[in-house]
């Protein structure tokens, strides 16, 4: 069974090809995170929605013309990575660039499910081509199954939305974390990803260049991928000696992503949107993690405003106060 659809984007060939192949552009319309080795035989790994990872290898790569890659889902024995084929062809037209996507090698049921997904994301591609960003994806807001790692994906999506909206003038602004400006906070996140990744047995590499959002997304994706490969069972070595439960350590990621998204949103005046499901789950994780870190990673709990929303209550629990004004 096959699915095919064509859209016309009001951009040139080079921009259209970038939108469908470059991680930074893919995050604007299709993925929470994306790793891409764009060459024949190179692999890709896209977290499309929290807890749902598409993966495969590139079979044809013709820049500005066509890309063909294997498609499937990690953890899905019925459609494993690289077991179906996606072809995307682009060609110039009077109004911009015609993009035709074809997905082959599916059962009838799989084709119906993927048709829903491709229609959703190709619609978002059209928005991204016009506006540069399709905006937050409602499909990523409330994962159907929450655990430490799908929550990390969901809160990373929230964090990336805030980072994406930071301007150069925001970098020096003070955050609710007394020792951190927005830029300092991003650098702190880089260090956290290196440490948390190492505890899962993976080396998280700082790209060294790119926007704060791009570097954070790249490093966080490496850490989360490392934890998915390791799993949440058992214990891991703690940096200062001894051991810590693996699930506890992995749970630090969503707590940190969400709290720092709030910090950055407070400093920059950016709206913060978090689903009730993710908010409640991360608060439960924080109840396990924050008390042991008071005096170092977290301050003493403060009293939230009477009319505080759930995010403000989580911030207060972690020792944070909203910025004045």
For the chain, give every domain's residue range. Answer: 3-131, 138-317
CATH assignment, 138-317: 1.20.120.450
pLDDT value at position 296? 86
State yes or no: pLDDT of 137 exceeds 90.
yes
State yes or no: pLDDT of 325 exceeds 70.
no
Q: What is the mean pLDDT of residues 222-244?
A: 95
Give me the torsion for CA of 23, 28, 31, 32, rounded to 10°: 100
Which segment of 20-34, 165-179, 213-227 scores lowest on mean pLDDT?
165-179
pLDDT value at position 239? 86
Please, which pLDDT band fits residue 78 given cuts at 50, 70 and 90? very high
Long-range contacts of 244-250 (CB under 8 A, 24+ apart): 244/199, 246/200, 247/148, 248/288, 248/289, 249/196, 249/199, 249/200, 250/148, 250/149, 250/152, 250/196, 250/200
What is the DSSP code string of 172-191? TSBPSSTT-BHHHHHHHHHH
Q: What is the mean pLDDT of residues 76-84?
A: 97
pLDDT value at position 1? 84
Please state which CATH class domain 3-131 belongs to.
alpha beta
Residues in the chain: 325
Q: What is the mean pLDDT of residues 110-130?
A: 97
Please, which pLDDT band fits residue 260 given cuts at 50, 70 and 90? very high
The SS3 call for residue 25 is helix
Percent of the chain with pLDDT over 90: 93
pLDDT value at position 3? 96
């Amino acid at each position: 069974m096959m699915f095919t659809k064509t859209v016309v984007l009001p951009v040139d060939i080079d921009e259209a090809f970038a939108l469908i192949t470059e991680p930074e552009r893919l995050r604007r319309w299709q993925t929470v995170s994306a790793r891409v080795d764009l060459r024949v035989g190179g692999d890709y790994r896209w977290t499309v929605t929290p807890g749902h990872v598409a993966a495969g290898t590139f079979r044809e790569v013709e820049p500005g013309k066509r890309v063909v890659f294997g498609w499937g889902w990690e953890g899905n024995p019925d459609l494993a990575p690289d077991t179906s084929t996606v072809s995307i062809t682009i060609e110039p037209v009077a109004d911009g660039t015609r993009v035709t996507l074809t997905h082959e090698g599916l059962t009838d049921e799989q084709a119906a499910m993927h048709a829903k997904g491709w229609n959703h994301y190709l619609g978002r591609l059209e928005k991204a081509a016009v506006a540069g960003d399709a905006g937050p994806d409602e499909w990523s807001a409330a994962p159907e199954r929450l655990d430490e790692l799908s929550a990390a994906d969901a809160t990373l999506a929230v964090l990336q939305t805030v980072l994406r909206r930071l301007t150069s003038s925001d970098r020096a602004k003070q955050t609710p974390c007394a020792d951190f400006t927005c830029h300092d906070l991003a650098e702190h996140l880089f260090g956290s990803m290196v440490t948390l990744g190492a505890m899962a047995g993976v080396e998280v590499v700082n790209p060294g260049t790119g926007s704060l959002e791009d570097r954070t997304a790249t490093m966080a994706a490496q850490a989360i991928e490392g934890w998915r490969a390791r799993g949440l069972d058992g214990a891991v070595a703690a940096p200062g000696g001894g051991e810590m439960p693996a699930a506890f350590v992995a749970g630090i990621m969503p707590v940190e992503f969400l709290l720092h998204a709030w910090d950055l949103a407070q400093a920059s005046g950016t709206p913060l949107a978090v689903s009730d499901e993710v908010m409640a789950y991360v608060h439960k994780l924080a109840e396990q993690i924050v008390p042991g870190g008071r005096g170092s990673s977290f301050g003493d709990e403060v009293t939230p405003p009477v009319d505080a929303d759930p995010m403000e209550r989580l911030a207060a629990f972690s020792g944070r106060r909203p910025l004045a004004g």
